[in-house]
Structure 1
Amino acid sequence: MRELNKLSAAGLKGLPEGKHGDGGGLWFHRRADGGAQWFLRVVVHGKRREMGLGRYPDVSLKEARGNADRGKALARAGIDPIKDRERKRREALSRLHVLKDIAEDAFESRKAELKDDGTAGRWFTPLELHVLPRLGKVPVSEIDQRDIRDTLAPIWHEKADTARKAMNRLSICLRHAAALGLEVDLQATEKAKALLGKQRHIAKNVPSMPWQEVPAFYQSLDDSITELALRLLILTGLRSKPIRFARLDQIESNVWTVPAEMMKGRKDATTEFRVPLSTEALAVIEMASKFERDGFLFPNQRRGVISDATMSRYMERKEIEARPHGFRSSLRTWCAEATDAPWEVAEMCLGHSVGSGVERAYKRTDYLEKRAGLMERWANLLNRKSDDIVRLLS
């Protein structure tokens, strides 16, 4: 007989990345981002099935074992536990009628394909803020294009991107309701777009800070996780995602190799990106290493890493109009106004692709050494006092 109950509740938190068996088909999976979930492996009609049993620590070891026992009992009876769960879920959902319930279930069904299981709220928030307050209690079969038009009209032009996302989510909810067997108008969102007309929206740049003011802000930051992350973001010119998911094993000597999937907007996005680290950046990383958990420099309090909004919220609390992403503009403007850095070197500092595909195929350089010197100068500027900068510019 296979050994059972090999895991302990006390030992779960310390388990490394990978899959760990409890015995009897129950497994604990620790993901690379620090999160974890349970799953059950059973064989039904000669076919192996893997059934998710919930996220840890939301589902305890004891609960996971109970869920696994029920799943195995069904399998022994020749019943696929996954299909049985889906059948019961469909029966329960067939009784749903109002949009709020449909929206919540559609969100639940898509969590697995969303980053961090949708915990950042970006998928559901447009519905929650702009659709459900007005249509949440309306039977989904009664929602038509006029309801949708009247709901989204107040933000259709003023908050065009948010309105577009809300319309997209609403369309998904209607398709989800149709899949549940409810009678809905699947064309209602397209008809609503026709009624609303083309969006009249002027894109606004992310607020940035004049580069002359960045040193004072930089020097105001202390050594908390959020403020160290902001310091590294300013020093490197990177977006927030590679900063938040920075790992010690990505850094060797004074070069940080950012994985390709962490880079945005590069035409050659299958290639990792090397970032030269200034002396100041290395010092910030050294300070951040005391917070390291599961290899991540900037872990969240519970699990995973700090959220995408963490640094922005910090600046909001300080009543600063600029946003973290805007420091990329500050750096680029400094390169243009205060240095003689070639255009392609300055662009590469931001991780932008330089030149056409043909040019990149022959000119295989990322200007690492030139960028290293430029970023060291940027770091030196950030540590200068404001009166020093005034003298430098005069």
Structure 2
Amino acid sequence: MPRGLNKLTAVSVRSLPAGKYSDGGGLWLHKRPDGGGQWFLRFTIHGRRREMGLGSVADVSLKEARGAADSARAVVRANLDPIKERDRQAREAARDVHMLRDIALDAFESRKAELKGDGKAGRWFTPLELHVLPKLGSVPVSDIDQKDIRDVLAPIWHTKADTAQKALNRLGICLKHAAALGLDVDLQATEKARALLGKTRHKIQNIPALAWPDVPEFYASLSDGSVTHLALRLLILTGVRSGPLRFARADQIDGDVWTIPGEAMKGRRDATPDFRVPLSTEALAVVDEARRLARGGFLFPSVRKGVISDATMSRFMERKGMDARPHGFRSSLRDWLAETTDAPHEIAETMLGHVVGGSVERAYRRTDFLEQRRILLERWALHLTGRGGLLFKIAAR
């Protein structure tokens, strides 16, 4: 052992009074009056004397302090400042620690273009934000395993099953996003968590809908010309989902055809063509009224900014004491088609914007049944306005 090194002992470290004591080679112990102490290393780099803290005696043993001092002296011999090198390594380590929240936000931003309304309103991110990130957001994504996921979703697995499933699925997307970034993650963690959570006891309930014979009475009550009333009228007349309806723009309507961009249709892919909706005479009258209230190009603007919310229409029906909700009018239309017309299945499903048939069948079938749907929606409008509207047979061509 070189002379002048390792002057202290483990016993002396504990028993020495307050003061500064050298262990040799620039390693010092600073004992405080309260019995605590701090290790530090004195060194000279580029002609400048510096002191580098190595931790407290409560956390760092004498042996560990000597090891840290040896490493720092090796850095000095390489003509580098060990304090700056330690700070640099800490910054690099911090960059390598990717927290789940950062990964989730990055995954959300990457997917926004394909999320339609869910991306614009941030709804895709909501299940994660509310139920996962408060507990796991600050956890490095590489450290997350199935038990972490199980623990965070167990409280809502049965009581809020749909939300829990969305959170789990989107967490799986975040893990795949992390893997694509080159991070070491367990891509099976969500499926393992699903096995730990077990089968949900929650029973999926269909959205309540008005029976089709009762829809005309409700339609007639929507008579004050407000944005909410007009939006509900066009929703009922066309059978579209509330998302495309709420974001309907005046420039999407050409003559008696409303063209909904393909990316706005639920379940559609970027390559899917736009969806054409034939507008009945009654629907065109509603559109004309809505144009007078349009703002920013949107037919159904919100009172404050943006467009009317889905909740606005739902709350309107709730205040009227109804169990049915806006989305349920799609079921009303589908039941009317099934019970009062002879419309073929593919036409009835296309009325609702559903994808019909396999990929090969769709490749050969180029029609969207626009003219047949035009006849059906005109008859539906007659039914809604109390003028009959039963159609017993329509051909698929």
Query: What is the TM-score when the length of structure 1 is the normalising length?
Result: 0.60
Q: Secondary structure of the equivalent of 1:340? A: coil
Distance 1:354 1:185 in 2: 37
Write the distance in 2 (CA, Å) between the matches of 1:132 and 1:252: 45
Separation of aligned partners in 2, 1:288 and 1:237? 17
Distance 2:359 2:184 in 1: 49
TM-score normalised to structure 2 length:
0.59
AA of the residue aligned to 1:377: R
Which one of 83, 99, 105 corresponds to residue 107 of structure 1? 105
1:212 match? 213
Residue identity in the other structure for 1:205: N
Structure scoring higher RCO (CA < 8 A, sep ≥ 6) equals 1
Q: How does 1:201-350 map to 2 (within 5 A)?
A: 202-221=203-222, 222-265=224-267, 270-350=272-352
Q: CA deviation at 1:163?
A: 1.1
Partners of 1:241 and 1:289 in 2: CA distance: 18
SS in structure 2 at match of 1:274? strand
Query: Is the contact between residue 128 and residue 171 of structure 2 (CA under 8 Å) also seen in structure 1?
Result: yes
* Percentage identity across paired residues of the two chains: 66
Unpaired segments ≥5 residues, structure 1 = 1-89, 390-394
Q: Secondary structure at the match of 2:216?
A: helix
Cα distance in structure 1, aligned partners of 2:180 and 2:355: 42
* Equivalent AA in structure 2 for residue 197 of structure 1: G
Task: Quote the Cα distance in structure 1 between the aligned partners of 2:140 and 2:359.
Answer: 52
Q: After the TM superposition, which of the residue ranges 351-360 and 241-250 deviates more from structure 2?
A: 351-360
Residue of structure 2 in register with 1:154 after alignment: 155
Specify the SS of the correspondent of 2:259.
strand
- 1:231 and 1:165, CA in 2 relative to 1: closer, same or farther beyond 3 A? same
* Equivalent-residue separation in structure 1 for 2:151 and 2:320 (angstroms): 37
Measure, in 2, the Cα distance between the counterparts of 1:343 and 1:179.
Answer: 42
Counterpart residue type for residue 223 of structure 1: G
Shift of 1:381: 1.5
For 2:173 and 2:343, locate their aligned partners in 1 and report how far apart those are by CA, in whole Å: 48
2:325 aligned counterpart, secondary structure: coil
Partner AA of 1:258 in structure 2:
I
User: How many matched pairs?
Assistant: 296
Q: Displacement, 1:286? A: 0.6
Map 1:1-394 to 2 at 5 A: 94=94, 103=101, 106-107=104-105, 110-111=108-109, 113-114=111-112, 120-131=121-132, 145-170=146-171, 189-199=190-200, 202-221=203-222, 222-265=224-267, 270-357=272-359, 359-384=361-386
C-alpha offsets along residues 262-287 of structure 1, whole Å, 9 cap, x if unaligned? 23346996222222211110111011
Structure 1 pair 265–145 and aligned structure 2 pair: CA distance change class (3 A): closer
Amino acid at match of 1:249: D
| 1:317-337 Cα deviation digits (max 9, x unpaired) | 444322222211100101111
8 Å CA contact 2:208, 2:323 repeated in 1:
yes
Partner SS for 1:291: coil
Query: Could you say which structure has the larger radius of gyration?
Result: 2
Query: Which is worse superposed, 345-354 or 273-282?
Result: 345-354
Tell me how far 1:217 sits from its aligned partner.
Answer: 1.6
Over 3 Å counting, the alpha-carbon distance change for 1:233 and 1:361 in structure 2 is same
**Residues of 2 paired with 1:173 and 1:345: CA distance?**
38
Q: Quickly say closer, same or farther: Cα 1:201–1:321, change in 2 above 3 A.
A: same
Deviation at 1:169, TM superposition (A): 4.7
TM-fit CA distance, 1:154 = 3.4
Secondary structure of 1:371's partner? helix
Change (3 A) 1:158 1:355: same
Q: Residue type matched to 2:105 in 1?
A: F
Please tell me whether the aligned partners of residues 117 and 243 of structure 2 are also in contact (alpha carbons under 8 angstroms): no
Code of the residue aligned with 1:333 in structure 2: it is D
- Decide whether the 8 Å contact of 1:207 with 1:321 is kept in 2: yes
In structure 2, C-alpha distance between the alignment counterparts of 1:117 and 1:327, rounded to whole Å: 21
SS of the counterpart of 2:121? Answer: coil
Q: Write the letter of the residue equivalent to 1:110.
A: F
State the match for 2:67 in structure 1. none
Q: Which amino acid is 1:274 matched to?
A: R
> Which structure 2 segments of 5+ residues have no match?
1-89, 390-397
Pair 143,325 (structure 1): closer, same or farther in 2 beyond 3 Å: same
Find the aligned partners of 1:296 and 1:161 in 2 and give their Cα distance: 31
* Structure 1 counterpart of 2:34: none
Q: Against the structure 1 CA distance between its residues 250 and 147, is the aligned structure 2 distance closer, same or farther, given a 3 Å change threshold? A: closer
- Is the 2:107–2:177 Cα contact (8 Å) retained in structure 1? no
Structure 2 CA distance for partners of 1:137 and 1:234, relative to 1, 3 Å? same
Match of 2:153, SS? Answer: helix
- CA drift of 1:213 comes to 1.6
CA RMSD of aligned residues (A): 4.3
| Counterpart in the other structure of 1:58 | none
Q: 1:269 to 1:245 in 2, by over 3 A?
A: farther
Q: Quick one: structure 1 residues 242 and 137, their matched pair in 2 at CA, closer, same or farther if it must change by over 3 Å?
A: closer
The corresponding residue for 2:53 is none
Decide whether the 8 Å contact of 2:346 with 2:356 is kept in 1: yes
